[in-house]
Amino acid sequence: MTVTLIIGYIAAVLGMVAWVPQAIQVWRTGDSRSLSLPANLLFLATVIMWLVYGVLVMDWPIILANVVATACMIAIVAAKLKFG
Amino acid sequence: MTVTLIIGYIAAVLGMVAWVPQAIQVWRTGDSRSLSLPANLLFLATVIMWLVYGVLVMDWPIILANVVATACMIAIVAAKLKFG
């Protein structure tokens, strides 16, 4: 495996798990005041589009990474809508 | 251009601009309490890795998208470290 491919996989794995701590924190604390709703909606749209793209090209790493990220972003946006 | 490619480009553009509103909000309000530092550090690492990947494969759309995202994430992490 080339260095380039390894860096790509590291980026994909980091991107998959990055928003898990935010989803946990916002639901544990009930505090979402400093979260930007437009930013989180835009990023939810981003990961949904990547998920659709992954399905269209049948690329399992893209699909898996963006299923996890989409679940996190839905949890974060839901918390923002609930807690304000 | 295929539908698949169009969806990929939409995802790339959304991902480029998604965190701009968060960076603006956190610096305008000085409030970063509900932002997760681990999540934002993980996502900063993610976009830096995608940027390095983009440079290694000399893919200008990946480079451009992740230069903007890296700048936003540096601004957000810096605000979190400053405001707590």
pLDDT one-digit tens code per residue, B29-73: 999 999 999 999 999 999 999 999 999 999 998 999 999 999 999
Render the burial of A3-35: b for 16+ CB within 10 Å, e for the rest: eeeebbebbbbbbbbbbbbbbbbbbeeeebebb
Q: Please give the pLDDT value at position A1.
A: 77
ipTM above 0.85, yes or no: yes
Specify the number of domains making up chain B: 1
Chain A residues touching residue B45 (CB < 8 angstroms): 14, 18
**Considering only A55-64, A75-84, B28-37, which range has the smallest mean pLDDT?**
A55-64
CATH number of the domain encompassing residue A32: 1.20.1280.290
Chain A interface, best mutation among B43, B44, B76, by max A CB count within 10 A: B43
Domain that holds residue A49: 3-83
List Cα–Cα distances, B65 to A15, B34, B51, B70, B80, in angstroms.
15, 26, 8, 9, 23
